[in-house]
Every structure is written in structure tokens, then in C-alpha cells.
Structure 1
């Protein structure tokens, strides 16, 4: 529902949707997603490369981006940028000031509007990162090591807390295990 709302309810529909998709697929913090350069994604798509390297703004740690899961979204988004005549060095430019990228505050306002439209109150700029992390965790058979690595966290404990896995969640997962 969030993705549909991002595609249907805003002027910069394709940009907002693609930010969310890239955030989920890369598990980057919103500050790092906003600062991605358009040239980097074009090079990855044109050269059939699948990874790029950045340094996380918050931690300064090296991070590998794998964009293949959102390659189609990025292609559609680049076409949208051309149709909108949006020329910018930024992958996600501001519609008002294309020489600048969209700010975290502006994306927060977009997510708050999505909350209003959907009648919920729990979305924020970190939703895409947490959603991506939780999906990787559950769809990889609870491979916490993979999620720790993708989030660029320093410990499993930090990642489990980040995912919000409390005792009730762990017990629910354990109930699904056949201990024979």
C-alpha cells in the first residue's frame, strides 16, 4: 500500500517511489540514499555492473551497493527524469531546486503524507531500510549475519534490536520450528 500511495499521490511520483525501492534494496540510511549521484546508477546499468562502493555518511564505513534488484525501477525512473526534463547530478533531485538533492526532511514530509493517506502513524524515513532488512532476514531463513553485513552494523545484538525482535517475536519464530 505504501508503494502504491507513493506512485499515485504526489507530483514527483516516480522519484518518491524509487527512493523507497532503492532504500529497501540497498538497506542504506535515508541520508545516504539522498546523496546518491545519477552518474553512478547510470554507469552500473550501462556497464552491466552490479555493485558500487560508497562510504556511509553516519559511520564512515565502506559499503557495497547492489542495485540489480531495483534495476528495472531505476530504468523507469531515469526515463521519468528525462520526460520531466530534470537535469541534475543527483539521482534524487529536488523538484524545486534540481541542483540539490531532496532532503531528508522533505522525504520525511512525504512519508508523513503517506501515513495520513493510509490512516496509519508508523512510517518514517527509516521505514524503507527497516523493511528491507526485515525482508532479507525472513526470506534468507533468518540469516542474521547477512543482515548485520548489509546494514553495516557492528554486532548481531544491534541488528536484532534494530529489527525490533523482542521476546514475543523470537517465541513466535521458535513456535514454527519442529524440534522433533
Structure 2
């Protein structure tokens, strides 16, 4: 299994969102939902329209952990989400596949995201990229690794730092500073 990375550059995040929007509003909103809420793709794809309509918070039971999770819908995401669900029935999957009344599969989501990543020269893109991008930018804006650890339900901050790519960034930065220049 290949390790996926967060999208570190905010302009690339929006380029990908715009690119996905040119192809499909569903794909764009799925991507934006993923980067704004930071939950696993399996939990995103299981949502119904009723789970987000007129809600400030969404409550789910995480598929992987079985734990209850409650998260707010970001004020930047809310108007995009409202426009997207307008006219949709409450029972419909939030992110439907082309098959009648079925949710988009994890495999389809992967193909959508990896194709977009390739378009922008990103090689390590997958479904976890949305969650990792949320975490990376949350940390860059808040520097609050403890809260991020709690959001992700990680056992410790080291796991969280490694998960969002900060550990690798620090290693790479240290290696780049290494010098074997002869000292006088």
C-alpha cells in the first residue's frame, strides 16, 4: 500500500477543487467536504442528504473505530453544500454513484482524486489525502497538534505529526541542511 500525502499548497487545493468542479459538482463538493471536515472517506461516502441539510453539526458513528463523532460544518463550506443539496431528497446519498440510489464507492472516489492529482503533478494522492490535507492545514493555521490528535482519535501527537507529513517534512529539512563542506 502506498503512502498518500496531504496537499500542502493551498493554491493547488483550490486548483484541484476547480478542476473537479469542471467535471462534476459532486466531485468538487466531495473533495471540499473532505478537506473541511477531516473525516475518513468511508464516513463521508456513507452520509445521506438528511445528515447535512439544515445542520450546523453532523453526528456520525465512525466506521473504522465505532466511536461517535460530532463535527461542525465550516461556514465556508455551508453555502456550497446548501447549493449542492438543493432539490435533492433527504434519503439520497450525499455523494451518489451513477447507479440509482447508491453511494459513490471508495474505489470511485480514489479514481476521481488520483486523476485530479495526476493532472497537477501530484503522485501520492488517494482518498486519505483529503483527511491529511485537513490535518496539515489545520496544524499550519493553529499549531495545535493536541486538538488535531483528538480530532483524528490518534493515541499520541507523534502519530498525528507523521500522519499529516510533518515528521517527513522535518526529516527532509534536516537532510537538506546537512553539509560536508570542508571547514577551514
- TM-score, normalised to structure 2, is 0.78
Q: What is aligned with 1:91?
A: 94
Question: Does the residue aligned with 2:150 lie in a helix, a strand or coil?
Answer: helix
Q: Higher relative contact order at CA 8 Å, sep ≥6: structure 1 or structure 2? A: 2
Q: Please tell me the root mean square deviation across aligned C-alpha atoms, in Å.
A: 2.3
User: How much does 1:65 deviate?
Assistant: 1.8
Q: Is the 8 A contact 1:38 1:89 kept in 2?
A: yes
Q: Helix, strand or coil: the match of 1:122?
A: coil
Aligned 8 A contact 2:29 2:84 in 1:
yes
Cα separation, partners in 2 of 1:93 and 1:167, compared to 1, 3 Å: closer
* Separation (CA, whole Å) in 1 of partners of 2:32 and 2:168: 30
Check whether the contact 1:63–1:152 (CA below 8 A) recurs between aligned residues. Answer: no
CA distance in 1, matches of 2:58, 2:90: 22
- 1: CA distance, partners of 2:172 / 2:121: 30
1:134 offset after TM fit, Å?
A: 0.7
Q: Which ranges of structure 1 fall in alignment gaps of 5 or more residues?
A: 45-49, 173-180
- The CA distance in 2 between the partners of 1:154 and 1:103, in whole Å, is 29
SS of 2:52's partner is helix
- Aligned residue for 2:165? 164
Residue 166 and residue 38 in structure 1: after superposition, are their counterparts in 2 closer, same or farther (change >3 A)?
same
Alignment partner of 1:72 is 2:79: yes
Unaligned runs of 5+ in 2: 1-14, 174-184
